[in-house]
Amino acid sequence: MSATEKRKVDVEGKVFNKDWSSKYFVVEPNKGVICVICQATIAVLKEYNIKRHYTSIHSASYDTLLAQYRLDKLEQMTAAIKKQQGMFTSYKKESELVTKLGFKVCELLAEKEKPLSDGEFLSDNIDETLKERIQRCTSYSLAIDKSTDVNDTAKLVVFIRGITDNFEIIEEFLDMASMSSRTTGQDICDQVMKLMDKFELDPSRLAGLTTDGAPSMIKKINGFTKKFLDAIGPPELVVNHCIIHQDNLCTKILGFTDVMKSVVKFVN
């Protein structure tokens, strides 16, 4: 093979031919060719290698798919891969953010000449940053749930979700408060009020409140929501029964445990 011919083959070999998609069930999302059936990456961008992968592993099952049915299957599998890759991108962005925050914390510690083990300093700083972010929210909602730790102590867990003037959505774990031995509606209300004070949350901006369906939360006379609404709740406050708790109850009754398992695994 002459030098010119060799170069021609190399150049041709580096271009993805769109016909390969329907012939061999492959796509080229960014760099590299991916088999949409088994999601393997085919390292060499040449028809010979792509064809070899398809014929040796998939042709027995996939040669029977013809014409429009074949194209529909390809489209369906490509969409699934793209969705998966989108998820990976968002995870990557999240982990980059965590790394950046880590560096920021180190910078703050160095500025204040504090050791990395200074938990109180770090905790104060995180609270302050969170407070600042929440102050920018024109409207926010709270999700409240009770749980117990390894020592069987009741904990109150509060999440906040708000929106700023620029439509920036803030969604954060607000705090976890230890409850005394009692967890009545009034006790929960007292704890939530304390947290609202701590983070200087403006009650008039509170738009939604979500809890589970436990009696201490929603009982008409002594439940947390009643006590809370009486204490500070703006009249237009929307009170919700958490949808995941409802889902959980439904799956228990209907026997769809497998579905719930997958949903929880996906969410976590």
Residues forming contacts to Zn ion in the complex (CB under 5 A) are: 35, 37-38, 40
Residue with smaller CB distance to Zn ion, 63 or 128: 63
Nearest-approach distance from CB 40 to Zn ion, in angstroms: 5
Measured distance CA(152)–CA(149) in Å, rounded: 5
CA-CA distances (angstroms) from residue 267 to 87, 143, 244, 260, 262? 12, 16, 11, 10, 9
Beta bridge partners of 177: 156
Min dist. Cβ of residue 39 to Zn ion (A): 7
Residue closest to Zn ion (Cβ): 35
Least Å from the CB of residue 45 to Zn ion: 15
Tell me how far, at minimum, the Cβ of 87 lies from Zn ion, in Å. Answer: 21
Identify the CA nearest to 192 among candidates 235, 238, 152, 157.
Answer: 157
Closer Cβ to Zn ion, 35 or 206, answer by number: 35
**Residue 245 · residue 238 · CB < 8 Å:** no
> Least distance in Å: CB of 58 to Zn ion?
5
Give the residues across from 210 on adjacent strands: 143, 240
Residue 27 vs 160, nearer CB to Zn ion: 27
C-alpha separations of 203 from 119, 153, 221 in Å: 30, 29, 22
Judged by beta carbon, residue 35 or residue 156, the one nearer Zn ion is 35
User: 241 by DSSP, 3-state: which?
Assistant: strand
Which residue number, 40 or 250, has a Cβ lying nearer to Zn ion?
A: 40
